[in-house]
Amino acid sequence: MESRFRIEDPAGAAARREAAVQRLRDETGIDEAMIEALVEGFYARVRDDVLIGPIFAARIADWAPHLAQMKLFWSSVALSTGVYQGRPMPKHLPLPIDARHFDRWLELFVETARDLCPPVAANHFIERARRIAESLELGIATANGTLLVKGERFARPTQAWTPD
């Protein structure tokens, strides 16, 4: 009787992953140097941004570890390298953000990718960034008791200002 289960050869799996990563590199032109330039350039813009900059500044004192993690993250997202092992959703759930913030994040990301990357690579990054923003926004909305339907966006209720 033939087994339907196959024992994976770790060396074979690693070779297949490396071949897939190399195909993505060849198709897009993306490499670690491009990822580094994109992450560094993007977060420089984020830090200067009046809407989302303060949200990051309130939570990140030392940017070097954050940028290192984001380079691993984008390597995994763009090239399927598997080098990032984090969980982004739990880190974003407590943030005071909604659709406006995701729109601005994406706007800065698109500008940076288009400025720093060849068109094929920029489009590859941007497509993934859009999916990430959508997923995070959906997760945050759900965690805040809002179920979004397709095309709907999450807006936090505005709080009326009252003088002390």
Residues of each annotated binding site: 66
Q: Are 42 and 112 within 8 A, CB to CB?
A: yes
User: How far apart are the C-alpha atoms of 108 and 49, rounded to whole Å?
Assistant: 9
Residues in binding site for heme: 66
Residues 6+ apart with CB under 8 A from 91: none
User: How far apart are the C-alpha atoms of 2 and 110, rounded to whole Å?
Assistant: 51
Sign of CA dihedral 96, 112, 133, 16: negative
